[in-house]
Amino acid sequence: MQRRRFSREFELEAVKLARERSVSVAEAARDRDLHVNVLRKWVRELTADPRQAFP
C-alpha cells in the first residue's frame, strides 16, 4: 500500500479548519479523511515555521 500525498493547499486548509473554525483536531481529521496524528503533525509544522511548512 502506498503512502498518500497531499497538496500544500489541502494541508493548509485542513490546518485552517482545525485552528480557525473552532473544530477539534479529531473532527477536522475525520472530515478530511485523515488520521488525527497526521493533522496534529501538520499543525505543529505550521506553528513552528510557517514559511517552511509543507514544501
Question: Taking the domains of the chain in order of start, what are their residue ranges?
Answer: 8-48
Put simply, whether the predicted model's pTM sits higher than 0.75 gets the answer yes
Question: Residue 9 has what pLDDT?
Answer: 92
pLDDT of residue 49: 83
Q: Are 18 and 39 in contact (CB under 8 A)?
A: yes
pLDDT of residue 53: 78
pLDDT tens for the 55 residues of the chain, in order:
788 899 999 999 999 888 888 788 999 999 999 999 999 999 999 888 877 777 7
